[in-house]
Amino acid sequence: MAFLSAAVTLAAAVLANAESTFSPARPPALPLAVRSPYLNTNQAAGSDGGNGGYLAGEWPSFWNGAITGWTGFIRVDNTTYTWMGSPLPLPQVVDQTSYEYTSTRSTFELQAGPVTMDVIFLSPVTPDDLTAQSFPITFVSVAVSSSDGGEHDVQLYTDVSAEWASGDRSKVAQWEYGTTESNVAYHKFWRQDQEEFIEDNQQAAWGFWYYATADGEGLTHQSGADTDVRDQFTSNGLLENTEDTNYRAINDAYPVFGFAKDLGSVGSDSVETVFTINIAQDNTVQYRDGNGVESIPSYWTNTYQDYESALDSFYGQYQDVSSQTADLDSRVASDSTAAGGDDYLTLTSLAVRQAWAALAVSGTPDEPLIFLKEISSNGDIQTVDVIFPTFPIILYFNPDWLKLLLDPIVRYQETGLFTQGAFALHDLGVFPKATEAGPEQQPVEECGNMIIMALAYAQRTGDTGYLTEHYNLLNQYTGYLVNDSLYPDNQISTDDFAGSLANQTNLALKGMIGIKAMSMIAQMTGNADDSSNYANIAESYIAQWQDLGIAQDANPPHTTLSYGDNSSHGLLYNLYSDALLETHLVPTSVYEMQSNFYPTVANKYGVPLDTRHGYTKNDWEMFCAAIAAPDTQALFISDIADFINQTPSNGPVTDLSETDTADYANGIRFMARPVVGGWFSLLALNQTGIPEGNTS
């Protein structure tokens, strides 16, 4: 059977005789509906299992590769074409002529015989609107026009399968059909046995899915076995307006939920139909603080009483959302090209949906909270050293929201629930349960991260009250850094997969910048004695660090991976915080030295993370790029743009890849992680390149 389906796929590829262009790049997976940890569907493209970036002839899939059935047919003068998915038997596929992505959109241009289709998958990002950001919905606009001057008889079809409702395909799905007050027609489907705060293979085991479109003339619908519903359309060009009420397992005669729209006679004026897919969950996560374990509501539930009124409202906002997100796309485009050129826009515009989709915007107007899922690495929630590499994109779009990410962590630790030590915790558990800090410990890393992010938040928002409120906790972290950042004990850094080590040069630097940042926090909050004490300690440490951590006699000189190991090196990405916070701790000569060094150890797809392995982390590369001289910065950026275009990996972009092959690092399939938010490193700085006047 596997052989047969391979043959069918090959036939499909042969039928698609046009070659698509890809702009600004052909990413390893094309984002389709990427809004949240659970609404996260892409089209695999990379050569290691993907089809090269075509919407038809392959199933869309959840970030982990599980198929989320999504089909599109178009019937033109009685001939049916497939424009999305890989149903069997497969009607001939459309010719895809172009694919383009911007920050919030994936746009395909498809040719179905004599008609052209413009299909836009819009996954909004609304960083000034908690309610909109909290409602995971993706819009699909399908615009059809005649391309040969004639009029053509056109019917459009699409369905989704119950595979969206659970990652365990043996679970029973249930469904119903309805219309909202403003006539939005919807298929609602869900895992019959709802298990809140449980995942089946990373997909939610609770919540209600909606596939919707405007009701009206020419719209028909049907639920039923995949082959029945699709045959009905391909044979007749419309559906039966019937419901299959034999609720059954997702993989038992796969139930699908279809719409057909008769567009009538289509000429050169394009006719647009808008579909939406969304998941509605009353609560996003469980969270434990001093009051015990609570269920935290999805933020949109503060505004909408029920799922259908929310759907009704969001569907109706399509035009507004479309123009707001077009503005956001343009802003990212102009800022990115100004800061780092076209290649830089290739990175930033791919990062936006992926980063924001790891967030669950939750809570109440009095107490909004944002939870973050690591996604692929191990699904941890609120991981401090995952928030940290992500945070440049938060600073760029809305620094106020950084507090909402830090609040669950500081509140947990301030209530005394963290008993492992005086250092900052690593995570709050495994998404969607933020109920117990996990056992992993990265003491210097996380203490430094918390202090650096708290100061960045206050600098950008002016909220020094936040620093006063949490002064004791931040001071406690600083005590840990004073003890352990000059000679960090043997421990893991955020790059835990690379192994543990004592005296890590880059980790020590983070601790020292953290101490200097605390000196600034003390200054801002009227704690003058602490301020001068910490400033003195940080200055003393950084002077010693330059002797301990720099291989002066190397050619060219560079910092080491660990003290005294002069043949070792690594990305000195923690230097970024010195520039970001304007701590003025590290001399400009260190920036220049590293900027001169990196090109001497660059491989085809980047500079290795350190001398232990051939792989790199592209979030950290961009932290280094942001504070490098123009040539070195351009080298980092173009190597990552090449990686995006050429990687054989086929999941949503990985942040960890081999520098010689651009493939996943051996055995570690990081993908879809929010840390690509770190690609906004240039835009989060006030000015890019080596900062002027850092002397000590």
Residue ranges binding ligand NAG (CB under 6 A): 77-78, 153, 422, 459-460, 476, 479-480, 483, 487, 490, 502-503, 548, 551-553, 563-564, 566, 582, 686
Any idea how long the chain is?
A: 696
Contacts of residue 88, Cβ cutoff 8 Å, sequence gap at least 6: 5, 8, 227
Q: Which is nearer to ligand NAG, 49 or 479 (CB)?
A: 479
Under a CB-based contact definition with an 8 Å cutoff, are residues 151 and 63 in contact? no
**Smallest gap, in angstroms, from Cβ of residue 645 to ligand NAG?**
33
- Count Cα neighbours of 480 within 13 Å in the Cβ-side half-sphere: 25
Backbone angles phi, psi at 694, to 5 degrees: -85, 105
Across the strands, what pairs with 122?
A: 105, 139
Neighbour count for residue 547 (Cβ, 10 Å)? 9
Beta strand pairing call for 21-23 and 95-101: parallel
Work out the end-to-end distance of the chain between its first and last CA atoms, rounded to an integer number of angstroms. Answer: 69
Under a CB-based contact definition with an 8 Å cutoff, are residues 674 and 371 in contact? no
Q: Which is nearer to ligand NAG, 382 or 559 (CB)?
A: 559
**Smallest gap, in angstroms, from Cβ of residue 232 to ligand NAG?**
15
**Smallest gap, in angstroms, from Cβ of residue 300 to ligand NAG?**
31
Using only the alpha carbons of the chain, give its radius of gyration.
26
**Smallest gap, in angstroms, from Cβ of residue 358 to ligand NAG?**
25
Burial of 303 per CB tally in 10 Å (0-12, 13-18, 19+) = middle
Q: Which is nearer to ligand NAG, 296 or 507 (CB)?
A: 507
Q: Which is nearer to ligand NAG, 197 or 563 (CB)?
A: 563
Report DSSP letters for 663-689, one per residue: SBBTTB---S-GGGGGGGHHHHSSS-S
Residue type, 670: F
**Smallest gap, in angstroms, from Cβ of residue 463 to ligand NAG?**
13
Distance separating alpha carbons of residues 289 and 445, to the nearest angstrom? 23
Report DSSP letters for 103-146, one per residue: SSEEEEEEEETTEEEEEEEE----TT-HHHHHS-EEEEEEEEEE
Joined together, the tokens standing for residue 128 give: 């000034």
Q: Which is nearer to ligand NAG, 286 or 459 (CB)?
A: 459
Cis peptide before 556 (omega within 30 of 0): yes
**What dihedral do alpha carbons 591, 594, 596, 598 form, nearest 10°?**
-140
- Nearest residue to 270 via CA among 159, 152, 157, 158: 152
Q: Which is nearer to ligand NAG, 635 or 684 (CB)?
A: 684
Q: Which is nearer to ligand NAG, 282 or 489 (CB)?
A: 489
Q: Which is nearer to ligand NAG, 277 or 395 (CB)?
A: 395
Look-up of token digits 């029973």: 172
**Smallest gap, in angstroms, from Cβ of residue 334 to ligand NAG?**
18
**Smallest gap, in angstroms, from Cβ of residue 688 to ligand NAG?**
12
Q: Which is nearer to ligand NAG, 109 or 153 (CB)?
A: 153
Q: Which is nearer to ligand NAG, 584 or 669 (CB)?
A: 584
Q: Which is nearer to ligand NAG, 166 or 485 (CB)?
A: 485
Distance separating alpha carbons of residues 487 and 507, to the nearest angstrom? 10
Report DSSP letters for 229-277, one per residue: HHHHHHHHSS---B------BTTSS-EEEEEEEEEEEE-SS-EEEEEEE
Under a CB-based contact definition with an 8 Å cutoff, are residues 626 and 336 in contact? no
Distance separating alpha carbons of residues 295 and 283, to the nearest angstrom? 6
Q: Which is nearer to ligand NAG, 152 or 373 (CB)?
A: 152
Q: Which is nearer to ligand NAG, 133 or 568 (CB)?
A: 568
Under a CB-based contact definition with an 8 Å cutoff, are residues 607 and 598 in contact? yes
Under a CB-based contact definition with an 8 Å cutoff, are residues 310 and 300 in contact? yes
**Smallest gap, in angstroms, from Cβ of residue 589 to ligand NAG?**
14
Distance separating alpha carbons of residues 277 and 161, to the nearest angstrom? 12
Q: Which is nearer to ligand NAG, 269 or 553 (CB)?
A: 553
Q: How far is CA 414 from CA 285, 365, 457, in A?
A: 20, 22, 19
Collapsing DSSP states into helix, strand and coil, what is residue 347? Answer: helix
**Smallest gap, in angstroms, from Cβ of residue 262 to ligand NAG?**
12
Collapsing DSSP states into helix, strand and coil, what is residue 371? Answer: strand
**Smallest gap, in angstroms, from Cβ of residue 304 to ligand NAG?**
36
Q: Which is nearer to ligand NAG, 532 or 687 (CB)?
A: 687
HEC profile for 456-493?
A: HHHHHHCCHHHHHHCHHHHHHHHHHHHHHCCCCCCECC
Q: Which is nearer to ligand NAG, 233 or 664 (CB)?
A: 233
**Smallest gap, in angstroms, from Cβ of residue 346 to ligand NAG?**
26
**Smallest gap, in angstroms, from Cβ of residue 331 to ligand NAG?**
17
Under a CB-based contact definition with an 8 Å cutoff, are residues 158 and 259 in contact? yes
**Smallest gap, in angstroms, from Cβ of residue 231 to ligand NAG?**
16
SS3 content of the chain, % helix, strand, coil (to 5): 35, 25, 35
DSSP state, residue 497: G
**Smallest gap, in angstroms, from Cβ of residue 142 to ligand NAG?**
21
